[in-house]
Amino acid sequence: MTGSALAMAHDERADLADLLEALSPEQWEHPSLCEGWTVRDVVAHMISYEEHGPRDLVRRLAATRFRPWKLNEAALADYADLGPDELVRFLRNHLDPQGSTAAFGGRVGLVDALIHHQDIRRPLGLARTVPAERLRVALPFAVTAVPLRGFWKARGVRLVATDVGWSRGRGPEAAGPGEAVLMTMAGRRGIARELSGPGATILTDRLG
């Protein structure tokens, strides 16, 4: 399944499910790039917005005492009791994004899956080559997507994804693989060090 952003999101989730099925129990409990979250937590977070509508959003907000920045924690709590096999089964049953993750033609689901896939792979030392067509769709969307707001993280810098022919912004250049550019826009610490150019130094100082 290729072509549309929705189809790419499907394929990215399927690739992630394949990886997850091969992980050991120890790898499931390994820290991810998301501060304070294990691999299991990241997967639970990914599925925590599937099958949930406005009523669930209100319920979760109420659970946080209407502190939106705590919303992910409230959503994660709904899936805290699921083990690895159950999480993978749920993901397999939801390869096509639903609800909010299907927004913008599936771009929300695609970017979410791409970033969290790497949140898991990078700390485990499991490198992959992200399909270029997925990056070409994800990168421009990540610039303005809520809550990423990549434009703000990369303000004053020209981002250049050297492997997929994409660039954005003005200022000192930060160039490198599209995957590293995407993860930098997602605010992941340490990734800007993989980029080159004077803009990379600015981003490293800004993001860590």
* Structure-block tokens of residue 51: 């099958």
pLDDT at 168: 97
Tokens for 8?
């790419």
- Same domain, residue pair 27 and 114: yes
Q: Is 106 found in the same domain as 14?
A: yes
> How far is it, in rounded angstroms, from Cα 205 to Cα 36?
22
Same domain, residue pair 149 and 101: no
- Give the pLDDT confidence score for residue 48 in this predicted structure: 75
The answer to whether 158 and 143 have CB atoms below 8 angstroms apart is no
- Both 40 and 90 in a single domain? yes
Instruction: Report the pLDDT value the prediction gives residue 68, as an integer from 0 to 100.
Output: 47
Question: For residue 194, which of 137, 127, 103, 111 has the smallest C-alpha distance?
Answer: 127
Asked whether residue 59 is domain-assigned, the answer is yes
Instruction: Based on the fold, state whether residues 109 and 181 are members of the same structural domain.
Output: no
Structural domain harbouring 90:
5-124
- Domain stops at, among 80, 105, 124: 124
For position 77, what pLDDT does the model report? 72
Residue 195 near residue 174 (C-beta atoms within 8 A)? yes
Split the chain (208 residues) into runs of 10 and give each run's mean pLDDT: 85 98 98 94 83 53 49 66 92 89 91 97 97 98 91 97 97 98 97 98 97
In a domain, 129, yes or no: no
pLDDT score recorded for residue 1: 43
